[in-house]
Amino acid sequence: MLALESGPIRCEFHRQSDRFQHSLLVRIDERWVPVLHSIEGTADDLWPASPPWQQLVEELIGSNQQRVLLGVGLSGSGHWSIAVEPLSSRPGLHLDVACKSHKTPTFLGTTFRIEPNWTLLQSLNTPTELRIAYEGTRRLLVLRSKHGTFHRLGEDQTYTIQLCPKPPETGVVTRRWSMETMLEDDPR
């Protein structure tokens, strides 16, 4: 397992078959509570539900030797990359994903399952920001898209969300989607 944390937010990568699944966790009452888990595809999927991270490394970058996680993977006609780094302005993480492909994808993005003890507070009227509340507390995980938009799949408590790049152009092009994660208190 590889993991990176910044304040109360943690991103973990666990080996699952031929790729890594990633999860976001939040520290509540001194324990790590899972919020989101990526839904993976298989080696047979040309365009999997989430990027197929096959290699991950930890690196130290910049003059302050900031710890980051970097990953790559291949699937179908796509070459995928990810960088996970702490936010510079506050505790939280930035996940930046890209896919270069020689064909127009049928699906491109990252698909997450929301854990049952978390609730999505709003519809996707604002597709660039999500707020997910932990039951019985005022703690909110805030996800802000820097590139791309969020989509919700399903209306029940086991729903999934997707972060997808803007509608793809045709031909050889690199598409990018990213999000910042922060923990806040619900002002209500």
Taking the complete model, does pTM exceed 0.85, yes or no? Answer: yes
Contact 106, 179 (CB under 8 A): no
Average per-residue pLDDT in the chain? 90
126 phi and psi angles, rounded to 5 deg: -115, 90
Q: Does the CA dihedral 164-101-75-96 come out positive or negative?
A: negative
Q: Does the CA dihedral 11-167-75-153 come out positive or negative?
A: positive
Burial (CB < 10 A; 0-12, 13-18, 19+), residue 181, is buried
What are the tens digits of pLDDT across the range 38-92? 999 888 888 999 999 999 999 999 888 999 999 999 987 789 999 999 999 999 9
Tokens of 123: 């519809």
33-37, 91-95, 168-172: the lowest-pLDDT one: 168-172
Q: In this predicted structure, what is the pLDDT of residue 177?
A: 96
Q: In this predicted structure, what is the pLDDT of residue 155?
A: 67
Q: In this predicted structure, what is the pLDDT of residue 10?
A: 98
How many angstroms from the chain centroid is the CA of residue 3?
13
Contact 34, 3 (CB under 8 A): no
